[in-house]
């Protein structure tokens, strides 16, 4: 399992994790598309925004290995802002390639891109 060095481990001040420490001996938790409802808690929305901002800062629009990125956090974005970058895609592999869909991410999480646009 690839560990993404320098990637934030969690949302500061919360228990929302972005990475895992070690691989599960039974295999990676499968990535599944989770529905985001309008009545989600503000802290959940902040965590998603911070995670998208970290993905963009780390990888941009380039494909990246799933590695030690948290499956739960990825699943909130999977199929919309985070897409498979390979075919066939194995949702249970730590080596699976993903890509951030910049247009979808900017539309859903405009606050994640604010810092880069300021001079």
Reading the chain (119 residues) residue by residue, the pLDDT tens digits are 778 888 888 888 888 898 888 888 888 889 999 988 888 888 888 999 999 999 999 998 899 998 889 999 999 999 999 999 998 989 998 899 999 999 999 999 988 887 655 45
Residue 97, CA distances (Å) to 16, 40, 85, 86 in order? 23, 28, 5, 6
For the stretch 64-84, what's the b/e string if a residue is b when 16 or more beta carbons lie within 10 angstroms of its beta carbon? bbbbbbbbebbbbbbeebbbb
The predicted pLDDT at position 116 comes to 54
Structure tokens, 93: 């592999």
| Beta-sheet pairing, 97-100 with 82-84 | antiparallel
The predicted pLDDT at position 115 comes to 63
Distance in angstroms (rounded) separating the CA atoms of residues 22 and 66: 13
Matching residue, tokens 């990125």: 69
Query: What are the backbone dihedrals phi and psi of residue 51, each rounded to the nearest 5 degrees, phi first?
Result: -65, -45
């Amino acid at each position: 399992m690839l560990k993404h060095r320098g990637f934030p481990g969690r949302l500061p001040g919360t228990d929302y994790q972005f990475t895992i420490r070690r691989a599960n001996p039974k295999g990676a938790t499968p990535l599944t598309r989770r529905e985001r409802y309008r009545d989600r808690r503000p802290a959940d929305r902040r965590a998603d925004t911070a995670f998208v901002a970290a993905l963009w800062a780390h990888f941009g629009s380039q494909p990246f290995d799933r590695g030690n990125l948290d499956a739960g956090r990825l699943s909130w974005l999977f199929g919309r802002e985070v897409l498979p970058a390979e075919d066939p895609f194995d949702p249970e592999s730590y080596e699976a390639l993903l890509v951030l869909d910049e247009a979808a991410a900017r539309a859903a999480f405009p606050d994640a891109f604010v810092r880069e646009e300021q001079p």
